[in-house]
Structure 1
């Protein structure tokens, strides 16, 4: 029993040595980390896999390098959870932007607003833009709705009680009953759709991003002029944003599908919009 306890403590000590190495550098490969820590490469490899599996570390699929994961930032919110999420999510935004050619936004919840923490502008001459640090209402547009839909009911009711449902266009949802129904629909389908809710002639689709514990921590959106996102193409945009959001959620340590359905199944639903 004493040997077992010693072995367990030794494993913790080795894991600590691996984590402390990230004070010296932002990322490490298994071989260089083994040299740095003085541990055998096979031990380092097992520790890296274990720490990455728990969300403490993050592995880059292309380089094979490991860096601190989102969970580490969440343990110390003042250390910059948004910065960690932005770094991890950036390749997913780039891939989505290349696939659709439209503006991409990554937003989180801040107080009773949505906050953009990263974006990629469309290369098109006519486009709808978002900016890092820009704040958005939670009742209008995909940026807000896709995050609000997965918040606790008490949060939604508090927002309604504050009379914070501001109108921007004739399509903005300001009626509490209609907003509740819209949020339930988004939660069931696993994606949101917006048609001129904040800016006339703009459309957007969005999907939630889940953290390791299953909580929705952000939203991923595509925004475009309505003539480049007609009804006939909305399902395609939904599939793209959902697929990338699901891949990013998995990368962050969330193994499940938030909506409980596949993207294909959601598209087949008659009320997918």
Structure 2
């Protein structure tokens, strides 16, 4: 940690504010970051000059076009995204719900691709957004299929914090759900990341049988009542299996 350049770390703290805010004024960046005003000023000027930040006519800042260029490069180089996208599009056409692709990043999951729902509904999901591995179907399905020791270490260390009304905050209940997910090959969430939304997720495996991603459909919880689940579950599981096959996975 001591080897990290302080200015670089603080600059990242400024840029990270834009993960949850589309635009910010200079004073808002000072307020939200807790960094002294003079330091923020110097960093913002430098970030703007390098193309990392843009300022509009009202004096509000947003992420610069340079991030869009970098984002496209990263997305294009993620093989799993390229392989999964046609199958995600097919699933999206069949169910009309949002379709998400998530990979693990440390103790979190990150959305690397999504197709929006055809309904006017706000969902937690967005490309680049993160969620804890314990919350939400697509994140939790990855957690369920991690090696036992890795999963248990995570469960022992993590604090289960509520995010929405349905977030699971009891570790024993979570363990039972993870075991059920291993047996069934899918998981369902209701209001875990966003109230009144639901999701169904299945794991994606590589040729070694290791979980490398999760795929889910998500939308309004009224579309995920008990009678609708069997057909939706099969479609999600089939899509996950198709993607897994492209990575050499053979089901035992």
Question: 1:174 matched to which residue of 2?
Answer: 169
Question: 1:250 matched to which residue of 2?
Answer: 245
Question: 1:195 matched to which residue of 2?
Answer: 190
Any stretches of 5+ residues in structure 1 without a counterpart?
Answer: 1-78, 258-273
Q: Cα distance, 1:82 vs. partner?
A: 6.7
* TM superposition outliers: structure 1 runs of 4+ over 3 Å: 79-82
Is 2:131 aligned against 1:136? yes
Matches within 5 A, 1:55-66: none
Task: Decide whether the 8 Å contact of 1:142 with 1:205 is kept in 2.
Answer: yes
Tell me the distance in 2 between the aligned counterparts of 1:205 and 1:192.
6
Tell me the distance in 1 between the aligned counterparts of 2:152 and 2:241.
28
Is 2:142 aligned against 1:147? yes
Is 2:231 aligned against 1:236? yes
Question: 1:207 matched to which residue of 2?
Answer: 202
SS of the residue corresponding to residue 154 of structure 1 reads helix
The alpha-carbon distance between structure 1 residues 232 and 106, as it changes in their structure 2 partners (threshold 3 A), is: same
Match of 2:158 among 156, 160, 163: 163
Tell me the distance in 2 between the aligned counterparts of 1:81 and 1:173.
34
Aligned pair count? 179
Is 2:89 aligned against 1:94? yes
SS of the residue corresponding to residue 87 of structure 1 reads helix
Deviates more, 1:162-171 or 1:104-113: 162-171
CA RMSD in angstroms, aligned pairs only: 1.9
TM-score (norm 1): 0.62
